[in-house]
Every structure is written in C-alpha cells, then in structure tokens.
Amino acid sequence: MAELFWWVIFPYITLTIMIVGLLYRYAFRQLTWAAPSTEFFEKKWLRIGSPLFHYGIIFAFFGHVMGMLIPIEFYQALGISDHAYHFGAIYGGGLVGLMVVAGLIILLIRKITIDPVRIKASFADFFTVLAVLFVAATGTYMTIIYNTTVIEYEYRLTIGPWFRSLFLLQPDYVLMQSVPMIFKVHVISAFALFAAIPFTKLIHIFSIPVKYPTRPPQQYRSRSNYRRQGL
Amino acid sequence: MRIKAQVAMVMHLDKCIGCHTCSVTCKNTWTNRPGTEYMWFNNVETRPGPGYPKRWEDTDRYKGGWELRGGKLKLRAGGPISKLANIFYNPNMAEMEDFYEPWTYEYDNLIHRPKGDNLPVARPKSQITGKYIDKPEWGSNWDDDLAGGSEVVPLDPNVEKMQEHIKMEYEKTFMMYLPRICEHCLNPSCVASCPTGALYKRDEDGIVLVDHDACRGWRFCQNGCPYHKVYYNWNTHKAEKCNFCYPRTEAGLPTICSETCVGRIRYIGVVLYDADKVKEAASVEDPQDLYEAQLSCFLDPFDEEVQAKAKEAGITDAWLEAAQESPVYKMAMKWKIALPLHPEYRTMPMVWYVPPLSPIMNHITNEDDLDTDGYIPAVDQMRIPVEYLASILAADDKEVVRKVLLKLSAMRVYMRGKTVGGIDEFKQSELVKQANTSPEEIEEMARLLGVAKYDERYVIPTGRREMDDDLHYKQGTCSLEDLAPPEGVNPTFGYLKAREKNYESG
C-alpha cells in the first residue's frame, strides 16, 4: 500500500498541484511572477554562486533527460556499453552535482550573512534553497559516492521506466520496489519540490525567455489593440 | 513612411533653479512605496558632478545604449544570446552602492522618548534593513550645488575627458542643473534589452512603459538604459520607470514634474516622426551626425502629404493640431535651440534641453558700446565651458552648442535693445543675422521662453479614447465596470487575463 502511495499517488498529486498551481498563477497572479534577484543588494558572491548553481542545474536537467527519459535500449542501439555510460554519468553528473551543491551553499551563506539579503528574504526563500539543496545533495551523493562505493546502480532499468510510465498514465510501481533507499529519497523529495514550484520563486524556471533572440528589438504596443488581441 | 506620434519634452535649463520640486512631486506621486525608495523617476543633478546613480554616463562600466559594431547597431551590453548567457548574473548592473541605501529618520523618538538629560535625536535608519545608519555617506543629491567640491566633481565622466582642467577656485567655478526624466527614446535600448518583451513603446504616444505582468525581473533594462532611468524594485522584483505620467497626459494634463515646475522650464508637445527612418538614423557612422540624423526623422506637421499619411495611420485631427502648435516642435526642430541629451548613445532621446547661458568669464562692462562681434567670442568665454555642454548635449560637437548659445545671446541682446534701448539698431540686426535668426523668430522665441504661458508650454491632446473598442459599453458605465465583463463577452480565462493586463503601469 505504501508503495502504491509513494510511486503512484504521490507523484500524481504533486504534479497536479504543480500544473494547476502554475496555471492559476499564470492566469491570476502574474504580477508576482518573477525571478527575484538580490543582485541589487550584493554582487560579489552572487557572481560566483548564481552562475555556478544555475548552469549546474541546467546541465543536471539534461543529465536527467539522458538517464530518465531516454530508454536504455537507445544507448544499446548506439553501442554505448553500460560501463561507458556510467563512467560518463558519474564524472559528468558528479561535476554538475558538485557545481549545484557548491553554488547553493555559497548562495545560502550569502543569504544568511549579507544583511539586506537576509532581512528581505522570506521563509519561502530559505525553504526553497534548503529544499533544492537537499534534493541536489542526495543526487550528488548517489552519483559520486553511492555509485563508486556501493554499487553502480542501473537506474535505467528501474527508475527510468517507472518515471516514463507515469507519463503514459500506466504507472508501474513494482519497478520501484527494489530501488535503493537513497534513490527513493531523492525521487520523493524531488516530487515534493515540484509541488512547491508554483508557490515559491522556483516559478521562474518556467519563464525562460526563449523568444528573445527571435523577436524584433523594438516593441510597439497599441493601447487600443491591447485588449483586442487579448495579449 | 510609418508615421507615429510622440509626446516629448523640452527643458529650458536657463530657468532651472534647482529647487527639486519636480523630483519631490514625482516621488510623492509614483515612488513612495517599499522597494521604490531609491527610485527617482525625475531627479535634478548639479553639473559638473557624478549624477545619479553615480557616474551613470560611464558607458564602459554600465554598458548602456547602442553602439556600432561592424556598421550595425548593437546593444553595447551584448545582444540576446550573450544576455541569455549572463541571465543569472548581470555583470554590468549597478548595485545599491551606486545609488544609495535609502533611509528615514526615527522621528518618533523626538516625540515619545521619556524625559532625559539630553535632547532627543532622530537617528537615520535604513529603509532596507531597518538598522541605524550612523553616517549616511551618499544620497540622490549628495553633491547638490557642488557640495563635495573638488572631491566629487572630478567623478563626472564628462569632466574626465575634458582636455582643459576645470577650475574649482571659487571665482572661476561653474555649475548648472540638469533635471532628468526617462527620455522616452525613439530607439529605446531598455526595450531592446528586455528578454521577456515586457518593456514597450506605446503606439499612440511613444511613451515607454513596463508591463508589470510580463516583467520577470531579469534586470537587463536597468543598465541597458544609458540614462539609468529604469529601476529595479527589490520588493516586487519588477522594473519601474518614469511613465511620463500617462494617466495625466492622456487627460491632456502635463506631467506632475512639469505641472509643479517653479521655473516653468518644461514644455510638452507632440511631434510626428517616421518610425521607418529611426534605425537608419541611429546607425550613422559619426556620433556627431546623430543630432542631425535624429532631426531628419521628424515630420513637418504643416505638410499636407504628412497630414494625409498621418490620418491614414490613425492619428486624429486633435493630435495633428497639437503637433502644429507643439512647443517641442518649435524649439527642437524649427528653431533648433533644444538639443538631445547624449545623442551618442544612439537611443534618439526625446527629452530635449535648451543649454543654459551663463555669466561670461571676462565680464562685459561696456555692453552699450559693445559691437556685435563682441558677443560672438563672448559665447566661448562663458563660465560653463562650451566643451562641457557639448559633451552632454552634442556628442562633443562644440559647433552645435555654439550655434544655440549664439541664437540665445542674439535673442537676449535684441530683446534688451527693444525694451531698454541703448543698442545700435544696425548692430542688433547684424547679430541677429549672424545667429541665423530673424526678429520675428526672436519675438516668438522670447514669448515661449520668457512669457511661457501655461497653454503654450503644454500642448497635450487627450488620449485617443475614440480608438477604444468598447466605447459603446463604457458609455454610462461606472467605475465598477471591471467587476463585470463587457457586453457580449463571456467571462472567460482570456478576458480575466486581459483585465489584469489592463492595469499596465510603468
């Protein structure tokens, strides 16, 4: 029963909260939708911490796409041996994980020690950093330490197919039963974090300005056309 | 030809007394909320001086505005790709230190402190952290009236590049006031810097606004604007800027800074320009040609072809009439006595400045006997060096500033001769000729600059509400209209969104 909850019910609940929350905030609370920067207060530490963390997490995202979304058969078809894959995953993923963790720790220390940044930070700000740090730390631990000391765990046969089965709406929770505890903690905490996205500054993940390079530099908007287009 | 109308401003610096009334009324109107304490949509700087924020003209540091790279107009801070790469940390953005840490005073202590041996004091307290600031060291007008003197003045980037060392001895020093608002540029670099496209130029009147719903707080606009007139609200994490008091101008009223200007230095009017020409004009090779190039974008509102095209473009008769009466058109385009601030930034700024006449260094003692030629070198001997004015208003082209000063001198001599007498009429007319003006023009100029009647200073047509879609619905509705959807429209998702969007603000 617990298995059913953690690997079927919980992911769907958290994803639902995320999607409905995002839609709600997009429709009714855009005024609060921003990437809340504190660069105005402090630049020196941000300069190191922020790019380190953000670039790290972007690479980590692509790492997860490679491990979770792309089936193992794809790698086998390409002729990439399991060992070669894990070699890349441990070194690449480990480096990226360390970037994320180091960046977050710098940002956290900055948040605590720099007066204006601390005083203007809300509970949600601290919660977000600590929660992401927890998820990132477990992930990095798995990649670097667990994989090298305990076992080179083949998540592409268990977590990956289970994760994809969620999106096929046929969740195969049995796959998760044999997964080591630390991986389970990582997955559950990550899903909990997804649910927090609409309520925290993490919302800015969904405002990557992808259209910027293609739009004309100057923007005109007509007051009277404004409503007509429903922009 | 793509005709657009632009609401623009001229400031006659001769009349600015540096009273900061404009700044204060602006602040009380727009930026008296948490997060906006340090924002001065309007500020008055004493020049020479570093300005606000400190050294905003230092384009090497803040990288604001445009530059020509390989003959093409590019953002100095880098294009979209480099911006996206720097989105997690903007290396060129100013921080609080470059402005100041806003503070208030503990006034309450003056009233409620228990009786003691010493007089109660109101200690300064940070509005950011709430902690006491023992010694405030910089503020928005710390260097007012050259306070800080020889320590602060050399921080001015314009002074730095001047060849002649400027004198700070009391008898020889000079100063002027420079009130600044957002320039509402024809080629705004803040708009081009915004990754989300939240900043835009309004089609109807050219006012540059921030859509707060769309703004995601990426902060590139703050330093993308070479005039540093877009501010980052640390509380809401959105950009805010001067909005030309659009709720007032839409109603035909002047901006609050203009309305309350004690010296009547500000003029507001409509100009028509060809939007298709802007990019080309901003891309001319030599920065000193930018002034002329900018002038070439404007259209003559008396030209019948222009009028016809303007009507096609949806510009109403009221706006055309206003463009004909526009004081901005007269001063900046017709008489050419108003100059754009730092044209070399290539943003085509639309707040224009009439440079100040200043005391002449070698005091003219015998003005009665002075011949016309005497006035011409006098222009070069004014207290405020032409070089300095040219650095601010003409991309270092002294000739442009000289011409304006000569015209203003000619006006002064002519009007003095007319009312006081004593100046030979022939000499007068010779000066007028040299200054490339005419008695008729001078009379007209003197009336607008000197008499400065309210309805001649501000020729502002009301917002073109007749273009609105739902006028029929709005007719007879009360202020509760936002609670109900327009007639025939379902209260859908889209409508609610549009309704929120309607609270556009700057």
CATH of the domain at A104: 1.20.950.20
A86 is an annotated ligand-binding site residue: no
Cβ–Cβ contact A100 with B under 8 A: no
pLDDT value at position A62? Answer: 96
Nearest C-alpha of chain B: how many angstroms from A84? 31
Whether this model's pTM surpasses 0.80 = yes
Scanning B8-67 for CB atoms below 8 A from A yields: none
Confidence bin at B427 (pLDDT 50/70/90)? low
Tell me if residue B271 falls in helix, strand or coil.
Answer: strand
What CA–CA distances, in Å, run from B345 to A45, B73, B285, B349?
31, 11, 12, 9
Scanning A137-166 for CB atoms below 8 A from B yields: none
pLDDT in tens, B381-417: 788 889 999 999 999 999 999 999 999 988 988 888 8
A54 is an annotated ligand-binding site residue: yes
What CA–CA distances, in Å, run from B302 to B5, B125, B441, B461?
14, 57, 17, 17
With beta carbons less than 8 A apart as the criterion, state whether B227 and B55 touch.
no
β-pairing, B351-354 vs B3-12, is parallel
Cβ–Cβ contact A39 with B under 8 A: yes
Interval B346-362 mean pLDDT: 89
Residue A77 token pair: 């078809």
- Using the predicted structure, report yes or no on whether residue B339 has a pLDDT greater than 90: yes
- Average the pLDDT over each of A76-80, A155-159, B172-176 and give the range with the smallest value: B172-176
Cβ–Cβ contact B234 with A under 8 A: yes
Residue A36 lies in a domain: no
pLDDT value at position B110? Answer: 93
Tell me if residue B354 falls in helix, strand or coil.
Answer: strand
- Using the predicted structure, report yes or no on whether residue A227 has a pLDDT greater than 50: no
* Percentage of chain B modeled with pLDDT above 70: 85
Interval B21-27 mean pLDDT: 97
- Residues near A46 by Cβ (< 8 Å), separated by ≥ 6? A38, A39, A107, A110, B89
Confidence bin at B368 (pLDDT 50/70/90)? low
Residue A93 lies in a domain: yes
Question: Which residue of A212, A215, A225, A231 is the best one to mutate when testing the B interface, meaning the one whose CB has the most B CBs within 10 A?
Answer: A212
Mean residue pLDDT across chain A: 92
- Using the predicted structure, report yes or no on whether residue B363 has a pLDDT greater than 90: no
Cβ–Cβ contact B200 with A under 8 A: yes
Pick the more confident residue, B328 or B433. B328
Peptide bond into B48 cis (omega under 30): yes
- Using the predicted structure, report yes or no on whether residue B374 has a pLDDT greater than 70: no
Interval B94-105 mean pLDDT: 95
Question: Which residue of B237, B246, B283 is the best one to mutate when testing the A interface, meaning the one whose CB has the most A CBs within 10 A?
Answer: B237
Residue B134 token pair: 């023992």
The dihedrals phi and psi of B183, each to the nearest 5 degrees, come to: -85, -10
* ipTM for the assembly: 0.90
- Residues near B80 by Cβ (< 8 Å), separated by ≥ 6? A212, A213, B195
pLDDT value at position B359? Answer: 78
With beta carbons less than 8 A apart as the criterion, state whether B170 and B145 touch.
no
Three-state secondary structure of A48-76: HHHHHHHHHHHHHHHHHHHHHHCCHHHHH
Cβ–Cβ contact B212 with A under 8 A: yes
Confidence bin at B15 (pLDDT 50/70/90)? very high
Residue A227 token pair: 């409503």
Residue A138 lies in a domain: yes
Cβ–Cβ contact B276 with A under 8 A: no
pLDDT value at position A224? Answer: 63
Cβ–Cβ contact A33 with B under 8 A: yes
Domain of residue A107, residue span: 2-30+42-228
pLDDT in tens, A98-107: 999 999 999 9
- For B52-86, b/e burial (b = at least 16 CB within 10 A) is bbbbbbbbebbbbbbbeeeeebbbbbbebeebbeb
Q: In whole angstroms, give the CA distance from residue A9 to residue A1.
A: 10
pLDDT value at position B378? Answer: 74
The dihedrals phi and psi of B43, each to the nearest 5 degrees, come to: -140, 155
Contacts of B213 in chain A (CB under 8 A): 30-31, 33
pLDDT value at position B354? Answer: 97
Tell me if residue A46 falls in helix, strand or coil.
Answer: helix
- Which has the closest alpha carbon to B302: B285, B288, B320? B320
Cβ–Cβ contact B467 with A under 8 A: yes
Nearest C-alpha of chain B: how many angstroms from A162? 33
Scanning B138-197 for CB atoms below 8 A from A yields: 187-188, 191-192, 194-197
The dihedrals phi and psi of B23, each to the nearest 5 degrees, come to: -65, -40
- Which has the closest alpha carbon to B94: A183, A58, A37, A9? A37
Residues B232, A40: C-beta atoms closer than 8 Å: yes
- Using the predicted structure, report yes or no on whether residue A12 has a pLDDT greater than 60: yes
Residue A35 lies in a domain: no
* Percentage of chain B modeled with pLDDT above 90: 70
pLDDT in tens, B456-506: 999 999 887 766 666 666 665 554 445 455 555 544 445 455 555 555 443
Q: Which of B79, B95, B131 sits opposite A39 (nearest CB)?
A: B95
Cα B440 versus chain centre, distance: 29
pLDDT value at position B373? Answer: 62
Scanning A109-128 for CB atoms below 8 A from B yields: 115-116, 119-120
Radius of gyration of chain A (CA): 20
Domain count, chain A: 1
- Using the predicted structure, report yes or no on whether residue A210 has a pLDDT greater than 70: yes
With beta carbons less than 8 A apart as the criterion, state whether B10 and B332 touch.
yes
- Using the predicted structure, report yes or no on whether residue B284 has a pLDDT greater than 50: yes
pLDDT in tens, B177-197: 999 999 999 999 999 999 999
- Residues near B364 by Cβ (< 8 Å), separated by ≥ 6? B370, B374, B378
Angle (deg, nearest 10), helices A44-64 and A82-113: 150
pLDDT in tens, B138-177: 999 999 999 988 889 889 999 988 866 666 666 778 899 9
Residue A77 lies in a domain: yes
In angstroms, how far is the first alpha carbon of chain A from the final one?
A: 47
Confidence bin at A151 (pLDDT 50/70/90)? confident
Interval B406-429 mean pLDDT: 80
Residue B194 token pair: 């915004």
How many interchain CB pairs under 8 A, A with B? 152
Mean residue pLDDT across chain B: 88
Percentages helix, strand, coil for chain B, rounded to the nearest 5? 40, 15, 45
With beta carbons less than 8 A apart as the criterion, state whether B460 and B249 touch.
yes
β-pairing, B3-12 vs B208-210, is unpaired
pLDDT value at position B157? Answer: 92
- Using the predicted structure, report yes or no on whether residue B282 has a pLDDT greater than 50: yes
pLDDT in tens, B211-242: 998 999 999 999 999 999 999 999 999 999 99
Percentages helix, strand, coil for chain A, rounded to the nearest 5? 80, 0, 20
